[in-house]
Chains A and B, each alone.
Chain A
Amino acid sequence: MQQLTDSGSLGPSGGAILSIPHADAHGGTHVRIPVAAPRAHATHAPEARSTPCLVAESLNAWFGEVHAVKDVSLALDEHRVTAIIGPSGCGKSTFLRCLNRMHETVPSARVTGNVTLDGHPVYGADADPTMVRRHVGMVFQRPTPFPTMSIRDNVAAGLAVLGRDRPSRRRTDEIVEDALGRAGLWNEVKDRLQQSAVALSGGQQQRLCIARALATRPRVLLLDEPTASLDPASTQKVEELLYELRNSMTVGIVTHNMQQAARVSDRTAFMLQGELVEIAATSALFTTPRDPRTEGYITGRFG
């Protein structure tokens, strides 16, 4: 089995790095305007089974002595949006950060268990965390544009570290336009691509960060409460964007907001005190939860 390693021939597109199956079906090159993968059209029906893409098995995570994630097994299905809900401190963000090996960047953090991306072990001995993160992009709660870079360079930031596979200048411009277009920001910024990114509004900055994550064409996009610091109008734009994204990639989103989970996701997982309580099709979880704790949370009895 091929490992997630930096073999030198790795590229930014979904497939070039690992020779992941399906990769060539939707994005063999950087510049191709993404078209909905044929299978994606039928997806929103929650019953339709999908292939697991990013799979966690018996995942445990600690901060020092604090056991933040307890034995969670959960799969993000391909071309689906999976939402993780739960009260503050339930470990949902930590779980998400384990999936692209961001958890270990915190001092004293520890992880056990398995994560596989299309069958390739993310925590394998040969797996390179930077390679994993190129395949599994992430957007954070607060927008994090790089203040020294222009809007264009921000979007291209992930491409700039690809070494030999770094696309040419003109190709980069095309990728930037494509990514900004997918993030719904192109029309707002096309005339000021060279201006500083910090001059944008908060909502625009967050969509810029999403565009930045999309530019390297990850297999999976993880979003950690991406709209928590945004106003309702910006939130709506991001949600519409997520809805579109399922056509071209696998999405995992952590959210506080149950309405948001209901609006954007195909499947929803409920976590409580570090444990996965229940995962089900979103409509099923919100209408007929199996676990009384889930019912308690979604009916507003706690959290």
Chain B
Amino acid sequence: MTTLAIPGGPRRIVTRRSRRSRRRHRGLTNTVMVVLTYVAAVLATLPLLLILFHLARAGVGALSLDFFTKMPEPVGEAGGGLANGIVGTLELIAIAAAVGLPVGIGAGLYVAEKKTTLLANSVRFLSDVLNGLPSIVMGIFAWQLLVRPIGHFSALAGGIALGAMMIPLVTRTTEEMIKVVPGSLREAALALGYSRWRASLAVVLRTALPGIVTGALVAVARIAGETAPLLFTAFGNQFWSTSPMQPIAALPLQIFTYAISPYDEWHALAWAGALVLILLVLLISIAARAATRARYGAAAD
């Protein structure tokens, strides 16, 4: 007997013919699957490419120096720009980052350090819940908390609504980035006479910093284009205002207002605004990638 006596293996020796057909069958399945993944990969990037293409075609016409430097003109007047919206969006992002980053990074540090306390588990769970919270709810929260007591809409309220959206995102990415820092580094710092908080800040947080910066930039990119939380917080402003206590213009709001208007000039401005907004987000994402690369560059070896 020359059977291959593999325990539990096939009883009969597979004939040459059926082996060949099986091989062909496997090859076919493989090809089909590979093609399917290619199709899925293309489909995944298609929406972004279509949006970019369409925005570029429709928006580039209205883009000029005026768009960045001039105020919006009344209906019927030619030209005009969205200078106030661009500045307003940058100011809102700044306020959001000032609120969201310290709280988010601090919470992430806490959760990473005190892994198993009740508070840490609650923060972790609630962050995940908050991450999925509809952004308009965040707007209502800021309206209730700030707009109502103050009595009017303000850039501050809008920035805080956006900042609150950043917190859970930043918390979770910070925690993940700190978790990758080897515990031996903290131990080494403690053994050198570092206090606990000092070891956490000067060694652990600092080692995780490039990753945290990446997470922060991703969070900023995520909130930069948010419209819903601003509807009844920052509210929008047709005039030039940089005061945090006054309603402020914002690109997404301006795009929304212009897009639902019946005027062709405003439609063109809305397209241009959308293009600028998406380029801003793209820019931030590229910066995030650069920060990530710095991290892995330094961590090599």
**Interface size of B by Cβ–Cβ distance < 8 Å?**
22
- Is A148 among interface residues, defined by CB-CB distance under 8 A? yes
CB <8 Å contact, B191 and A137 = yes
CB <8 Å contact, A216 and B298 = no
CB <8 Å contact, A133 and B301 = no
- Is A209 among interface residues, defined by CB-CB distance under 8 A? yes
Q: Which of A100, A134, A157, A216 contacts B189 (CB 8 A)?
A: A157
Q: Which residues of A contact B194 (CB under 8 A)?
A: 130, 161
- Is B206 among interface residues, defined by CB-CB distance under 8 A? yes
Chain A residues 122-170 with CB under 8 Å of chain B are: 130-131, 133-134, 137-138, 140, 142, 144, 146-148, 157-158, 160-161
Q: Which of B185, B193, B195, B299 contacts A146 (CB 8 A)?
A: B185
- Is A258 among interface residues, defined by CB-CB distance under 8 A? no
Chain A residues 246-271 with CB under 8 Å of chain B are: none
Q: Which residues of B contact A134 (CB under 8 A)?
A: 192-193
Q: How far is the CA of A88 from the CA of B156 in the complex (A)?
A: 60
Q: Which residues of B contact A209 (CB under 8 A)?
A: 188
- Is A196 among interface residues, defined by CB-CB distance under 8 A? yes
Q: How near does chain A come to B209, taking the closest CB pair, in angstroms?
A: 7
- Is A213 among interface residues, defined by CB-CB distance under 8 A? yes
CB <8 Å contact, B189 and A148 = no
What residue in chain B is nearest A158 (Cβ atoms)?
B192
Tell me whether A198 and B301 are in contact in the complex, defined as CB-CB below 8 angstroms, given that A102-B190, A161-B193, A209-B188 are known contacts. Answer: yes
Residue of B187, B189, B192 contacting most chain A CB atoms (<10 Å)? B192
Q: Which residues of A contact B191 (CB under 8 A)?
A: 100, 102, 133, 137-138, 140, 213
- Given contacts A133-B191, A198-B298, 15 further A-B pairs with CB under 8 A are A102-B191, A130-B194, A134-B192, A138-B191, A140-B184, A140-B188, A140-B191, A142-B184, A146-B203, A146-B206, A148-B207, A161-B195, A196-B298, A213-B192, A216-B193
Interface set of A (CB-CB < 8 Å, partner B): 100, 102, 105, 130-131, 133-134, 137-138, 140, 142, 144, 146-148, 157-158, 160-161, 196, 198-199, 209, 212-213, 216
